[in-house]
C-alpha cells in the first residue's frame, strides 16, 4: 500500500476552537494565547490494490484561486479527486470533516467534495454532531451527508468494510469516535484519528483535558503501541508535524 500525507499546514488552536495558521520556521508558540496547541492538519491518501482511500478530509479551505486545498494536494500527488473511491471518517470535528463538502464562495453553493466515492460515517457521531451546539462541529459542513446517496452509515461498534478495512468505535476523543485498520497482505495501517493524533503521545502516558474520555484515550494508545510493536504496524498521525507516518520497523 502507498501512503501519501496531504498536509494542509500547521495551526495553533486554543479554547476558542479557532484554527490559526502557524509558521514553524518564523513564529514562537509562546506568543500565542496560553494553552494553545500546535498541530498539523493532515488527511491521508492510502492507495491499495482496489481503492484510493481518503482518511478524514481536512479543514475544507479553498486556495486563493478558489480550488479546494485538498483537491490541490491530491493533484500535486498525482491523483484526480474524482479517483477517490472511499472516504473514511474517524469523527466529524471541523478540522477532520470540513472537506466533506466544497463551497463556491461567490454563489454560496455547496457540493459533496468526492461525488464518486463512498463515504463511511458513524451514524451516532453524525446524529450527535447535528443534535448539539458545539464549536467543534460545523453542521453546515456535514448535513449534506444526509442527502448523499453514497453514504454507508456505520451502525455497529465494530465491523469490516470490504473485508480488509476494520473499524472500531472507541468513544474516546469524541463520544462516537472511531479508528481504522487497513490490512492488505502482510501490511497493516492504523489510523487512530484524534485518539492517537501524534507520535509522542503514543510514547508517554497522560490524560488530555480536550478528550471526551482522556483516560480511555491514554489506555488505548498504550494498547495500540504495544500491538504495533509486536506486529509491525504503520501508524498515521493526523496532527503530527514531523512524523505523519511511523513504522515500528524503523525504530532504532
Per-residue model confidence as pLDDT tens digits over 105-134: 778 788 999 999 999 999 999 999 999 767
Among 247, 245, 248, CA closest to 3: 245
Q: How many CA atoms lie within 13 A of 85 on its CB side?
A: 10
Domain ranges of the chain: 2-250
Among 212, 208, 202, CA closest to 251: 202
Cell of 13: 488552536
Taking the chain (252 residues) in runs of 10, the rounded mean pLDDT of each run is 94 76 68 70 97 96 90 97 98 95 82 96 95 82 94 98 97 95 96 95 83 91 94 95 84 42
What is the structure's pLDDT at 31?
Answer: 61
Contact 106, 204 (CB under 8 A): no
- Taking the C-alpha atoms of residue 241 and residue 208, their distance in angstroms, rounded to an integer, is 19
What is the structure's pLDDT at 252?
Answer: 38
Find residue 21's DSSP bridge partners.
Answer: 11
Contact 68, 62 (CB under 8 A): yes
Among 208, 205, 204, 165, CA closest to 187: 165
What is the structure's pLDDT at 220?
Answer: 96
φ, ψ (nearest 5 deg) of residue 235: -105, 140
Topology of the domain covering 2-250: Metallo-beta-lactamase; Chain A (3.60.15)
- Taking the C-alpha atoms of residue 162 and residue 18, their distance in angstroms, rounded to an integer, is 37
Distances, alpha carbon 175 to alpha carbons 29, 192, 213, in Å:
30, 14, 8
Amino acid at each position: 500500500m502507498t501512503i501519501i500525507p496531504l498536509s494542509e499546514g500547521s495551526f495553533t488552536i486554543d479554547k476558542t476552537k479557532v484554527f490559526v495558521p502557524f509558521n514553524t520556521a518564523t513564529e514562537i508558540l509562546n506568543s500565542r494565547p496560553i494553552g494553545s496547541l500546535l498541530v498539523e492538519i493532515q488527511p491521508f491518501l492510502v492507495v491499495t490494490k482496489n481503492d484510493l482511500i481518503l482518511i478524514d478530509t481536512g479543514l475544507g479551505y479553498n486556495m486563493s484561486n478558489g480550488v479546494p486545498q485538498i483537491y490541490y494536494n491530491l493533484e500535486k500527488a498525482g491523483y484526480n479527486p474524482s479517483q477517490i473511491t472511499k472516504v473514511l471518517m474517524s469523527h466529524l470535528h471541523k478540522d477532520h470533516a470540513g472537506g466533506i463538502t466544497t463551497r463556491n464562495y461567490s454563489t454560496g453553493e455547496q457540493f459533496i467534495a468526492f461525488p464518486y466515492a463512498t463515504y463511511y460515517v458513524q451514524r451516532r457521531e453524525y446524529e450527535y454532531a447535528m443534535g448539539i451546539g458545539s464549536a467543534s462541529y460545523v453542521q453546515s459542513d456535514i448535513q449534506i451527508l444526509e442527502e448523499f446517496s453514497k453514504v454507508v452509515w456505520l451502525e455497529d461498534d465494530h465491523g469490516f468494510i470490504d473485508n480488509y478495512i476494520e473499524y472500531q468505535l472507541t468513544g474516546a476523543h469524541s463520544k462516537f469516535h472511531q479508528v481504522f485498520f487497513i490490512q492488505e497482505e502482510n501490511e497493516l495501517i492504523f489510523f487512530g484519528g484524534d485518539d492517537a493524533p501524534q507520535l509522542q503521545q503514543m510514547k508517554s502516558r497522560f490524560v488530555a483535558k480536550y478528550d471526551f474520555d482522556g483516560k480511555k484515550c491514554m489506555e488505548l494508545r498504550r494498547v495500540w503501541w504495544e500491538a504495533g510493536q509486536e506486529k509491525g504496524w504503520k501508524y498515521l498521525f493526523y496532527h503530527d508535524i514531523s512524523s505523519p507516518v511511523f513504522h515500528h520497523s524503523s525504530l532504532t
